[in-house]
Structure 1
């Protein structure tokens, strides 16, 4: 049975975003698909309409991560030229993290202990799950719109590469 992924579905799926997959499909690769059965009327054939797909097997998620990292590296996003200088003593720090995790407590405790005069602006977000990327992107944009933040810390606790 033929399996198809329509372009309109690409931006809606966890492993298929913005028209480009977060991992590259390769010949012989084992994948897990969620799909719906349909009939392609012009040929009277059954087909699977793929809603989501992900790599399967030992190391598949690590491979997807490495492929994404290599793609971002090739775009130059990790180059020194892309990095902004960090001020020696920032006046105002933006913190983007979960409001309930140990990370925010650690950041606030250490900052208050070492630099009690620094303002801290906290943007509470989810740092795990499918909603996390959109919330984090929105929080970064909000921090930039404030305009008076010298440094932004994006933090989360330990966890699995799946997160």
Structure 2
């Protein structure tokens, strides 16, 4: 009897009462945040994007989504579909619009290795810290620590700088790991 009473009290406390206004908004389902998908557009909805994602569909040109976190006014001004970013609620918004085109646009924050990277090494954090270990003929102008690759002919270099954020799109599509 005591066990069933204790179980009942725990369940009642977990779900709250009908008059408890704080429990009505605590469970969020994926469909609650306006996560409806819009048809891809050929006009880029963003001016620049640091957290660009190439969607997995194998088409040419590819589909892109910008996962930069935006303030509500920014998201509403430039996107058709805004949804809450992963993390604590309420949080910043991300634009769920999908762009269909060859060029996803420029980065907002330039990467030290340039606009693209085929061989990135990143931490597994929500906002990763990345390095691009591509062997190139010359490092980008923004690279502060450019080192030569030993015994490479012709001479090749690797930018050793780190960047907090996604490494950006690949230079040579289809060479991903």
Q: When the two structures are superposed, what TM-score results if normalisation uses the length of structure 2?
A: 0.23
Which of the pair is proportionally richer in helix?
1
Q: When the two structures are superposed, what TM-score results if normalisation uses the length of structure 1?
A: 0.24
